[in-house]
Amino acid sequence: MAVTHIFFAVFALVLVYKSDVCSSTHVSSSPTDAAVLIVVDQSGKGHYRTIREAINAVPSKNSELIYISIKPGIYREKLVVPADKPFITLSGTDASNTIITWNDGGRIFDSATLSVMASDFVAIALTIQNTFGMRGKGIALRVSADKAAFYGCRILSYQDTLLDDYGRHYYYNCYIEGATDFICGNAASFFESCQLHSLAKAFGILTAQHRNSPSENTGFIFLGCNITGSPGGTDLGRPWGPYSRVIFGNTFMSNTVSPEGWRDWDDPRAQRTVYYGEYNCYGPGANRAKRVGWSRELSHDQSAQFLNRDIIGARSWLRPLPTHFKKRRPQHVFDVKDYFWKN
């Protein structure tokens, strides 16, 4: 089962890359298509027993692709990928059995289970979890760097689950769970084929986007996603910043979405400056008959500028999985199939 899931995660990554990069004249900023392989295995059969040790082993000012393969297990670790260690991939075998978990809350920038501060980061098939619960802010994932991509990951908490802080980010086939402002920040992010699950029973907010001026090219774009949860209690978003921008396109909205759809965070002035749009959404929660009048039902032409990965410049930085791995000692390069199918 693990082999099957890692195959599909890799296959999805390759498809996304080919559809968005190979047809472009731009190239990825990746230094090479071969990666240094580091294996994390709690049983002691890998290079390290903890993910923290593997990240620490990456040299400062790294310029190589680093592929950290994490064997199944529950890793109780609070992790930071430092800004001077770009080009790191953290890959599990299946998000259901490769779990990074911590329990911390309070300050929004300090509580994250995993903080990504380095550019050119990739995560595949991981659960990233903060178990702080309903007591307050408890971030599972903080992304405060440019060019980060997440494939087949589960991101779980209650309040402020995903601090999508700044930079350009891509989420594909991810499951994101929370209740209050559970996707927040001022990044330029594209969420494709993701499930957004609200835990709220009466008052929930999916997004709190933090765009502060019309000149900022930031916002959250959701394409082909699926919104689920308890009936009637969750809004699509509210403005953390006065020019907050969120668009949902071709998204299924269950009856968890409130009829009004959006909130102004008790500041009517925001109604004149936010950009909240919906295009071709469907399901019982997509009925716009009672939507707030300051949200937008977008036409095909209006939505076209948002509903593609070009809005995050993905052609220039999304990269495929490395085609070869190499070990530091001895220097040996082998095909990706040799590792995934024999280990």
Active site residues: 160, 181
CA separation, residue 232 to residues 204, 250, 257, 294, 334 (Å):
9, 20, 5, 20, 53
Short-list 309, 340, 305, CA closest to 322: 340
- What does the alpha-carbon distance between residue 183 and residue 29 come to, in Å, rounded to a whole number? 27
DSSP result, 40-105:
E-TTTTSSBSSHHHHHHHSPTT--SEEEEEE-SEEEE--EEE-TT--SEEEE-S-TTTEEEEE---
- What does the alpha-carbon distance between residue 195 and residue 251 come to, in Å, rounded to a whole number? 10
- What does the alpha-carbon distance between residue 124 and residue 318 come to, in Å, rounded to a whole number? 13
∠ Cα 97 101 105 (to 5°)? 155
Q: Please tell me what DSSP assigns to residue 136.
A: S
Q: Please tell me what DSSP assigns to residue 339.
A: H
**Are the beta carbons of 119 and 169 closer than 8 angstroms?**
no
**Are the beta carbons of 182 and 155 closer than 8 angstroms?**
no
